[in-house]
Structure 1
Amino acid sequence: MAGLTLTSFGGAGTVTGSKHLLQSPAQTLMVDCGLFQGIKNLREANWRPLPIPGDRVDAVVLTHAHLDHTGYLPRLVRDGFSGAVHCTPATRAVAEIILRDSAHLQERDADFVNRKKATRHSPALPLYDDGDVTRALARFEVHPPHTPFSPLPGVEATFRSAGHILGAATVTVDWHGRTVAFTGDLGRYDDPLMFDPEPIERADVLVTESTYGDRLRNATPAIEALERVVTEGIARGGTVLIPAFAVGRTQLILYHLWQLRRAGRIPRVPIFVDSPMAINAGELLRDFPDDHRLDPALTDEMFAVAKYTRDPAESKEISADRSPKIVLSASGMATGGRILHHLAAFASDPRTTIVLAGYQSVGTRGRSLADGARFLKLYGEWVPVNAHVEDLHMFSAHADGDELIRWMSGFTRPPEHGFVVHGEPQAAESLRLRMRREFGWDATVSVPNRVYSIGG
């Protein structure tokens, strides 16, 4: 169809803030509506108006619930969006947890700087509040995988499992004869919890993530790497501190700790999950048993390996306790949440082990730790990092370069063109070159806010 265009307002040139706009002269569909995270200039982009007003977006389709794919939705609603938001049932459930937590943190942070008078704005306001989240959630419509639905008149979309996290999906959008496929975030093959990402056989245009487009995973099995760092960390008499994403990563690490504990391969020290959001997200495994590999009995057994803390006072007790233990706490990139007061308590202790268990965006404390930072700024103070830092990136829920290529090999008819998004520049360009070298496909690394004609 002549006149169909693709524009990325986020998730281009970076791994965060995914917002991809499909637009014809008559209709507008946004695929993902994420929040920018990481360095300051990215976070500030959340406050800039989109190039298109909220009331000009007719519908939104979500690939999955992570904040960098859903976190701007309440602001879009505040700015006038009144269409439907389409996703899988599990994505709707996970999104409610993530969006309410996001609003709570923003309201709390605004209140903090107002009380401290540490703001140029008077008063400082959150990007959105819990009421905006409630209004956004009221717009959700759910669709199971493999069941076509119509987000707009004359447009048909279909979800397929992407692995990655609970509810995550790829989406194909058939727009008056043109098929555009979006990977969202592709998961890993042979993951112990999530199913393999399903192939897509045909599309005219492919929009693919490239988070690890320039990297291959360490060949060491994740469970062996975790066994080593836990055993060594406990032998030093310290705390093993794991900043873990509340959705997906915490549950995967718990699975491996459970396997190691019952095999007698790690010391029997207390294991804490200190994240209300992670606790809530973990309970969804019971609500959506068909969306993952574990049967209900194994799910309950896995969760029994840890102690769960919701109360802030209990969280402070964990930080005050200097005996050996394992602590999983959000956020996974140490950008906020309870992990910060644990880092403030333990990072200076040389007996401590800090385990990074996933992708760390530029500008986050997690990335600073991965890059060897000797100090972290926490609560306005510079805290020395004397802890042992272990980067176990094999725990990431993103496909690596070989797995992205493996998934693309599922096409029985090659796309006419590919757009590479959701990656830092080197990773995106590396994947683009592999697509050309190994498949002969034409592909473009998307430039933010550039309008690409894809209508033939």
Structure 2
Amino acid sequence: MGFSLTFLGGTGTVTGSKYLIEAHDKRILVDCGLFQGFKQLRLKNWSPLPVAPATIDAVVLTHAHLDHSGYIPLLVRNGFKGPVYSTPATRDFCSILLPDSGHLQERDAEFANKHGFSKHRPARPLYTQRDAEACLESFKPAKFGEDIAISHDITARFRPAGHILGAATVQLTIGGTSILFSGDLGPPNSATMLDPAPVRHTDYLVVESTYGNRIHDKEDPEDQLAEVITRTAAHGGTVLIPAFAVGRAQTILFHLDRLKQENRIPDLPVFLDSPMAIDAGEIFCAHLGDHRLTEDQCRTSCGVAEYVREAEKSKALDANKMPKVIISASGMATGGRILHHLKYYAVDERNALVFTGFQAGGTRGSAIVGGAQAVKIHGAYVNIRAEVHNLHMLSAHADAEQILDWVKNIETPPRRTFVTHGEPFASDALRRRISEELGWDCIAPAMNDRADLE
């Protein structure tokens, strides 16, 4: 008996990952992410799924980032009753990411209603903090390498994917036929994360293509970071680093700690202005063995920054004229405290804005990195006069060569390979390479495409 795979997200975009498997009277959703970026994508979050949440039997989650997990609160609120399988670290990260997402949506709706810049009257959140907290009861953690029995003839297995703590590839075995989902692959030889584990056999493959058409700069990221910080400090400016609270912030702290220990940057104060990133650092240190750092390295890296939890202390950073480094969420400048800092620091040419990875189309980060002279924040345009950098080598995503090297571990060509989770030109570039260099049957599906598999 065959099964089907329907692409409900993560095609033509790097957000909204949702892959529906229908097999043997079971429905399994691999990843359950929010659409982010362009407005036409974000609006999809408000549209009902093509399948009723109550008819989905299980969710299998590759990792905690919101483009893979952020729709779970809505799925549960709308009737999903099944388990959400994830690694223990992913569950721990979701316990802070999802409630924070609900809180930010409530706060943004309140802010929009108060200042009247929303076209909706009244503006409302997609889901609330309470919705997010309620969905956490559905999580069932499973370790790397364990076989998860979803039904009598369907199992799932997690393997390390690198990328962030707890990130996994997912291999479903359905009546003897296997389908492998890469999730988001990290680069090999990361300073902090494990290498993506090789997989030798799968009948079908779904592989991400975030950097499917790009190669990371091979320059040492610490060299570039040191250069920007040193030059900005000499101008009397501040370095503002928008960073994903889960994963990227911890990696940046590790590099800043090493730079300070080696006296490669001025001894500037470093502020971690993100309660969620602070909590994520504690989770990072609690999962030794799931990353490369020792407990001492974890504690030392976290100690390089002064933690800023209270909103008033966050606001005080903008009144502080001294040169400093501020790390604040979110990584693509889509929301959170980073927006308030951008309004203050982006307008001064003495300052530097340092992005550290992929910027999805339609986000402020993408616009700023692309050279926009102004971006809209809280209903008004903010001029961008600060230096702008994007250190791709600090990205948690594998580049095109690294993705292809991971794919080549599969010893027998899959019956079909599906290239997803990339902008159209990136997905098509990787599709061509897999088709032409490896000779595999490979396609880049579109949104809502359905494939009947044997």
TM over 0.5: yes
SS of 1:207's equivalent? strand
Match in the other structure for 2:59: 60
Match in the other structure for 2:166: 167
* Cα deviation code 1:296-319 (max 9, x no counterpart): 111111111111100111111111
Change (3 A) 1:189 1:255: same
* Cα deviation code 1:200-220 (max 9, x no counterpart): 111000000000000000121
* 1:289 maps to amino acid: L
Match in the other structure for 1:143: 142
Instruction: Note the 1:2-401 alignment, pairs <5 A.
Output: 2=2, 4-24=3-23, 26-119=25-118, 121-401=120-400
* 2:127 maps to amino acid: Y
Query: Aligned partners of 2:23 and 2:297: how far apart in 1?
Result: 48
**1:133 Cα shift?**
1.4
The answer on whether the counterparts of 1:33 and 1:72 sit within 8 Å (CA) in structure 2 is yes
The answer on whether the counterparts of 1:190 and 1:196 sit within 8 Å (CA) in structure 2 is yes
**1:103 Cα shift?**
0.4
Query: Aligned partners of 1:440 and 1:100: how far apart in 2?
Result: 45
* Cα deviation code 1:153-199 (max 9, x no counterpart): 31011000001001000010001121000000001100011010001
Query: Aligned partners of 2:124 and 2:335: how far apart in 1?
Result: 18
**1:122 Cα shift?**
4.6
**1:229 Cα shift?**
1.1
* Cα deviation code 1:36-86 (max 9, x no counterpart): 110111111100001111111111000000000000001011111001100
The answer on whether the counterparts of 2:62 and 2:168 sit within 8 Å (CA) in structure 1 is yes
Query: Aligned partners of 1:343 and 1:112: how far apart in 2?
Result: 17
The answer on whether the counterparts of 2:419 and 2:443 sit within 8 Å (CA) in structure 1 is yes
The answer on whether the counterparts of 1:172 and 1:181 sit within 8 Å (CA) in structure 2 is yes
**1:124 Cα shift?**
3.2
SS of 2:232's equivalent? helix
Give TM-score scaled by structure 1 length. Answer: 0.98
Question: More displaced, 393-402 or 371-380?
Answer: 371-380
* 2:322 maps to amino acid: S
**1:117 Cα shift?**
4.8
**1:119 Cα shift?**
4.6
The answer on whether the counterparts of 1:58 and 1:152 sit within 8 Å (CA) in structure 2 is no
Query: Aligned partners of 2:234 and 2:415: how far apart in 1?
Result: 56
Query: Aligned partners of 2:331 and 2:246: how far apart in 1?
Result: 10
Query: Aligned partners of 1:153 and 1:280: how far apart in 2?
Result: 38
The answer on whether the counterparts of 2:117 and 2:379 sit within 8 Å (CA) in structure 1 is no
Match in the other structure for 2:426: 427
Query: Aligned partners of 2:78 and 2:225: how far apart in 1?
Result: 45
**1:272 Cα shift?**
0.7
The answer on whether the counterparts of 1:34 and 1:71 sit within 8 Å (CA) in structure 2 is yes
SS of 2:8's equivalent? strand
Instruction: Note the 1:406-421 alignment, pairs <5 A.
Output: 406-421=405-420
Structure 2 runs not aligned, ≥5 long: none
RMSD: 1.1
SS of 1:297's equivalent? helix
SS of 1:290's equivalent? coil
Query: Aligned partners of 2:234 and 2:130: how far apart in 1?
Result: 48
SS of 2:49's equivalent? coil
* 2:167 maps to amino acid: A
Percentage identity across paired residues of the two chains: 48
SS of 1:289's equivalent? coil
Query: Aligned partners of 1:413 and 1:356: how far apart in 2?
Result: 39
* 1:401 maps to amino acid: A
Give TM-score scaled by structure 2 length. Answer: 0.98
Query: Aligned partners of 1:33 and 1:395: how far apart in 2?
Result: 26
The answer on whether the counterparts of 2:185 and 2:208 sit within 8 Å (CA) in structure 1 is yes
**1:365 Cα shift?**
0.8
SS of 2:427's equivalent? helix
Number of residues of Structure 1 aligned to a counterpart in Structure 2:
454
* 2:158 maps to amino acid: F
Query: Aligned partners of 2:231 and 2:118: how far apart in 1?
Result: 44
Query: Aligned partners of 2:120 and 2:329: how far apart in 1?
Result: 29
* Cα deviation code 1:113-171 (max 9, x no counterpart): 33345555454332111222122111110100001011233101100000100100001
* Cα deviation code 1:390-428 (max 9, x no counterpart): 111111100000000111111122211100000000100
**1:388 Cα shift?**
0.6
The answer on whether the counterparts of 1:212 and 1:427 sit within 8 Å (CA) in structure 2 is yes
Query: Aligned partners of 1:322 and 1:135: how far apart in 2?
Result: 42
* Cα deviation code 1:205-259 (max 9, x no counterpart): 0000000000000121111111111111111110011101101111111111111
Query: Aligned partners of 1:291 and 1:121: how far apart in 2?
Result: 44
Query: Aligned partners of 1:288 and 1:298: how far apart in 2?
Result: 13
The answer on whether the counterparts of 2:237 and 2:351 sit within 8 Å (CA) in structure 1 is yes
The answer on whether the counterparts of 1:86 and 1:151 sit within 8 Å (CA) in structure 2 is no
* 1:206 maps to amino acid: L
* 1:322 maps to amino acid: K
Structure 1 runs not aligned, ≥5 long: none
SS of 2:401's equivalent? helix
